[in-house]
Amino acid sequence: MGEAYFYHLTRTPLEVTLPMLLGRALQAGWRVAVRGEDPGRLDWLDQKLWLGREEEFLPHGVAGGEHDALQPVLLTPGPLANDPTCLMTIDGAALTSEEVQKMERACVLFDGTDPEAIQTARIQWKSLTDSGCAAKYWSEESGRWEMKAESAGR
């Protein structure tokens, strides 16, 4: 049974935090899906991932290609075609308790400067923890990532 990690982005933007988390997930041997609702935003992230330093390259693809199932990291607005062990959501994309429980880890990355994003994350936290999912809330407001809250789940 997995757990959900909530990442409250206040200092580091998504295009910096996401590659760091993806790198750690790949080092753990996990296959990852990154779910967003806006295909344009996923294309933007795809470009950002290609622009990283060569030694930090993250093998990935955008959903809709013929090799989706083989992608170590798949950026997708829809189905999880690469059978991930870790699901990361951005921009308020949906995440169910069933998905959390099937994964090694689910990560919710949200913009800490956007009141609507914060409210969406709060609703997701409550929904997931009320459903029995273990969850941890991480914040970088001090300048480094610190766990600020935890729910053990059932």
- Euclidean distance between CA atoms 43 and 99, whole angstroms: 24
Q: Would you kindly state where each structural domain of the chain is located, as residue ranges?
A: 3-151
Q: What pTM did the predictor assign?
A: 0.95
Q: What number is the average pLDDT over the span 31-54?
A: 92
pLDDT in tens, 79-90: 999 999 999 999
Mean pLDDT of all residues in the chain?
94
Phi/psi region, residue 95 (left: phi>0; alpha: psi -120 to 50; beta: rest), is beta
- Euclidean distance between CA atoms 137 and 23, whole angstroms: 20
Domain 3-151 has CATH 3.40.1350.10: no
Instruction: Assign 141 a pLDDT band (cuts: 50, 70, 90).
Output: confident
The token pair that represents 13 in the structure block: 């933007």
Residue 53 has pLDDT above 80, yes or no: no
pLDDT above 90 covers a percentage of the chain that reads: 87
